[in-house]
Structure 1
Amino acid sequence: MFDTQITDEYLIERIGNNDYNSYNSLFDRYYVRLCQYVYGLLMDKDDTEDVVQELFLSLWKNRSKIEIRENASAYLYKMAKYFALNQIRTKSRYTTFPENQEQYHLYYEENQLEADEFRIALYDCIDRLPERSREVLLLHRIKGLKQKEISEKLTISVKTIKNQIWISLQKLRKCLELKGM
């Protein structure tokens, strides 16, 4: 397991200095979380794992060039979003259909693009939430944890959890409305 006292920023700095143990620690710390986030965008387990693995490979390959101007967690989630969007673009570019089913697939593709656009807009709005609100919302809605479980995990009251979820949902609704969703 990994030491939670060591900051993500410290691990990134160490990775930049070719420290493979720090790379493994960061991987262990974020792999599952990033997979959950990317799965919400792609809705495909294999593609999700490919994207997150590609992200970490890219992180290692470009370790000497990494400059983080924000917190490392936000940096990793933005990378994940970028790689996931790239995956969506690549897949839609190379999707071919038999001619006799063209009408059906065109309809399906339009609906899929709308769903992808909504999912991207939703996760963009989630990214804009304050860190604690985002964490609570993802634990509740993505991981499926009960409010009491989240309360115990984050050592904050159940009432605070309820408020965080309610406020987050209100902010998401407003953000999506502004995006025309």
Structure 2
Amino acid sequence: MGTELNQDEKVKAFRRFFDKSYPKIKAFSLKLLKVEEDAEDITQDIFLKFWEKPELWYGKTEIDNLLFIIARNAIFNFIKHKSIFDNGLVELSDETVNIPLSDWISPEDELQAEEIRLLINMTIERLPEKRREVFLMHKNEGLSAAQIAEKLNISVRTAEHHIYRAMAELKKVLLSIIFLFFV
């Protein structure tokens, strides 16, 4: 983009771009982070960077993929630098959930596999405590809802509900992953 774009044109064009794209990116950030303020901060930072670099968006009609990739990367960077990981308040490990990512991601793309694993584990770690416990017992130990109910002294229906709700949350994240990585 050359110098032909004056400040007034830039403001008008950016407003259209912002109004169209901001709600989608904020909703995506909120879905992954689960904290309104963090999602708002990240989304604002992304659009500030776009404001500073109009060559990325001005005159472009299809930039949703770029926006979602930038949002995903900003979220990962935010999480990596957030002190809760440094302080050990949240522990993420490969053992949190055993999903054979190699079945649907090529071995040469280890970075994508690690990002997906991080998103899945983050989702599991952010589940309510009892739901996470039931889900991990079901997935990692292979226990049925009845076995979990007996161990935790809860009803079978409650155990089933926790498993169902955890799976629903993971499906939302997996759909986002599929959109970002494979579409």
TM-score category by the smaller chain? 0.3 to 0.5
TM-score after normalising by structure 2:
0.46
**Structure with greater helix share of residues:** 1
Larger CA Rg, structure 1 vs 2: 2
TM-score after normalising by structure 1:
0.47
